[in-house]
Amino acid sequence: MRDRRYPPAVDWRTALRGTGRTLIWAGTLILLFVAYQLWGTGLAEARSQRSLVQEFEEQVATPPTSAAAGQPPPTAPPAPPEGSAIAIMRIPDIGVEKAVVEGVSVADLKKGPGHYPDTPMPGQKGNAAIAGHRTTYGAPFLELDQLEPGDPILVTTRQGSFRYEVRESSVVRPSEVSVLAPTEDDRLTLTTCHPRYSAKQRLIVVAALMGEAAPTPPPSERPRPSAPAPEGDEPAEDEPGEESPTLEGGLSGENASNTPAILWAAAAATVWVLIWLASRRWRKWPAYILGAPVFLVVLFIFFENFSRLLPADY
């Protein structure tokens, strides 16, 4: 006869077994997401880069005129649409050769380094600025911290080929949009997350234009979107007659809605529960084998939407 003074030990073993399985599945999902971020996103970026390079080559009907060659640069082309290819950027010392896309939203930076639309185009007068990923989507700016003063940055646009040389690097807060403000000198400002595998700060690399700058469209043709300064930050002082460029998400680019991620997380959980129920009422392994492809597809879409919640240049 069972001794009723002690609860059945099997209940504790079942609870521990269930907790262990839950932790294992949670750990597996985290590892899958990390793998997707580090390698899966790189495949998507490589595919986008091929399309952008082809698009840029089609835009350039004739070989670009080199500003360094002393020839007069062509007239400023119209402002490019967001998401289109605007330049090819090479940073030989860290092995970077990427097509640059117009825009710094999550969708834009998934394709490659993105040009801040409220700054001049690369090669033009003033402070041209480009953001790029340091961890995901090919991590074009992974080794940006290795650049030293004098290192070249070569940019080819529809207006010509331009050479910049690195002048300085600094680390700032994500809200420090003053690094994008108009300047008297002609420069290129590169921004990315810092330190590696973190979005706590932003690494800023400033390079000076060597040679003559290309014409810049009048300010009236280059609208500068503005947004309230982040709470707790001092607004940057504007130069007379000019606006300081500001972005809703600071140097992180535009923010994405979390609704799609929540909906796809619920969809993935629903699919998994249905697979588990099928395994209990039908056959275990056939249910998992047939349901796994559906679950992986839904999980992939969830990862895509969840990654949008990270800073655009992470």
Whole-prediction pTM: 0.73
- Would you call the peptide bond into 174 cis, given omega within 30 degrees of 0 as the criterion? no
Pairing assessment for the beta strands 152-157 and 160-172 based on DSSP bridges: antiparallel
Compute the C-alpha angle 287/290/294, nearest 5°.
115
- Higher-pLDDT residue of 275 and 242 is 275
As beta bridge partners, residue 88 has: 99, 156
> Tens digits of per-residue pLDDT, 167-188?
999 999 998 999 999 999 999 9
Handedness of CA 24, 40, 105, 134 (dihedral sign): positive
Identify each DSSP E strand in 184-302 by its residue range: 187-194, 201-210
Q: What are phi and psi of 213, to 5 degrees?
A: -85, 155
Q: How far is CA 138 from CA 8, 66, 185, 201, in A?
A: 54, 29, 31, 20
Query: What is residue 39's three-state secondary structure?
Result: helix
> Tens digits of per-residue pLDDT, 222-265?
444 333 333 333 333 333 333 333 455 566 655 566 788 888 88
